[in-house]
Copies of this chain bind each other. A is one copy, B any other.
């Protein structure tokens, strides 16, 4: 099926293709009375926008968002908020190559197998361009959870990881890689440049942390906070893995090594001595920082020819010319943040529904 709505009470529905006239999102269930304007959304879109450095695709999209409904006199009214972004740089290139044969690793074959045909221009609906709609919706979600601070960063590119000891929050926005480790950022410059010049691509790992989440958010059992975060992240283009807290590392530990002991805090709430769990127990937030890691594969758009088949089933080869991200994970940072915000906003309202 096609299912383009995310969330349970704070919901958004996205629409649009890479090379259609526009794309957008309808945000529904947003609390009324929140101060909002396009200026609250645009900075997050700018962060995701392509063409801002040589390390991202050179497609030029201003990604100017317009609010078409749901806001009156600068405040949300409680009715659906329509967010609209025009596509302006759908380069009138020749798509006959992509129309002819399937790009391995892309959704081309799967869409054809499912729907019988596909909008092949720039990947159509399966393009990562759709994530602009998520980022716009996520900006609204942030307004619903002012108590929460969300930040994500790239912690590895092509297997080259940051040094956790060198983590510097201030660095994240100071380099084109959202990298908190200045030395790593410098290494990555050469690394990504190399991939770009050779027409190759690189995978990446993104980490995301939300602080200020109170204990109690989460809807066990089938809308657990971690379950929703996993779904949210795995729905992002190119994502192949999600970890909460220590993730796969926890599978190597003993119960003692994995414990998050508690001590009494000044306000009756516990102070946790560790956070292996990533701030979630039994699918419910514990009051600790919510932490997750996401694996982005290298984009399949590369200059090296790869064996494939045509729509008619004949043997062929394909290589992907044109504008592409050498490391799509980089631009995933604002998208992961947006999905974190969307899940938390939804869970906050769900919690409020049941518990008041």
Contacts and interface: CB of A to CB of B under 8 A. Distances in A.
A304 B255 contact: yes
B15 A5 contact: no
A104 interface: yes
B22 A68 contact: yes
A33 to B, nearest CB: 5
B9 A5 contact: no
Contacts of A110: 215-216, 218, 280-286
Interface residues of A, number: 156
B107 A296 contact: no
Given A299-B255, A354-B349, A4 B21 contact: no
Interface string A290-309: 00010111111110101111
A32 B242 contact: no
A314 interface: yes
Interface string A85-129: 000000000000000001011111111011111110100111000
Interface in A255-313: 255-264, 268-270, 273, 276-278, 280-287, 293, 295-302, 304, 306-309, 313
Contact of A1 (B9, B17, B273): B9
A329 interface: yes
B250 A222 contact: no
Contacts of A80: 2, 4, 13-16, 125
Nearest to A118: B77
B79 A114 contact: no
A143 interface: no
A301 B255 CA distance: 7
Interface stretch (A23-31, A35-43, A167-175, A178-186): A23-31
B32 A116 contact: yes
Nearest to A70: B15
A116 B344 CA distance: 20
Interface stretch (A47-55, A56-64, A202-210): A202-210
A240 B247 contact: yes
A222 B3 contact: yes
A278 B23 CA distance: 29
B72 A124 contact: yes
A255 B24 contact: no
22 contacts: A1-B223, A2-B78, A3-B221, A9-B9, A16-B69, A31-B355, A77-B117, A110-B283, A113-B216, A114-B217, A126-B283, A156-B251, A227-B235, A230-B230, A237-B282, A240-B251, A240-B277, A251-B297, A255-B299, A259-B300, A261-B306, A276-B297
